[in-house]
Amino acid sequence: MLLRLYGWLTWLAQPLLRRKLARRAVAEPGYGAHVPERFGHYTQPPSSGWVWVHAVSLGETRAAAVLIAALRERLPGMRLLLTHGTATGRAEGARLLREGDLQVWQPWDTPGATRRFLAQFQPRVGILMETEIWPWLIESCRRAGVPLVLANARLSEKSLQGAQRVPLLPPAYAALVAAYAQTEDDAARLRSAGAPVAGVFGNLKFDATPDPAQQARGRQWRAAAGKPVALFASSREDEEAALLALLQADPAAAAAVQWLIVPRHPQRFDAVAELVRAHGFAVARRSGWGDAPPAGAGAVWLGDSLGEMALYYGLADLALLGGSFEPLGGQNLIEAAACGCPVLMGPHTFNFAEAAELAEQAGAALRVEDLAQAVQTVQRLAADPVARQRASDASFAFAAAHRGTAARTATAIVEQVQR
User: Quick check: helix, strand or coil at residue 136?
Assistant: helix
Q: Are 285 and 302 in contact (CB under 8 A)?
A: yes
Tell me how crowded residue 357 is: count the other CB atoms within 10 A of its CB: 15
Distance CA 105, CA 90 (A): 8
Q: How many helices (H) and strands (E) does the chain have?
A: 19, 14
Neighbour-count burial of 204, counting CB atoms closer than 10 A to its CB (0-12 exposed, 13-18 middle, 19+ buried):
buried
Distance CA 75, CA 410 (A): 10
The residue among 73, 96, 83, 95 whose CA lies nearest residue 50 is 83
Q: Are 201 and 66 in contact (CB under 8 A)?
A: no
Q: Which DSSP string corresponds to 91-116? A: HHHGGG--TT-EEEEPPPSSHHHHHH
Partners of 102 in beta bridges: 81
Phi, then psi, of 177 in degrees rounded to 5: -85, -25
Distance CA 160, CA 174 (A): 14
Q: Are 151 and 413 in contact (CB under 8 A)?
A: yes
User: Quick check: helix, strand or coil at residue 171?
Assistant: helix
| 157, 159, 160, 166 alpha-carbon torsion, rounded to 10° | 150
Degrees, nearest 5: CA angle 219-225-229: 75
CB half-sphere exposure, 361, CA atoms < 13 A:
7
Clarify whether 60 is annotated catalytic.
yes
Annotated catalytic residue, options 28, 37, 60, 240? 60
* Residues labelled catalytic: 60
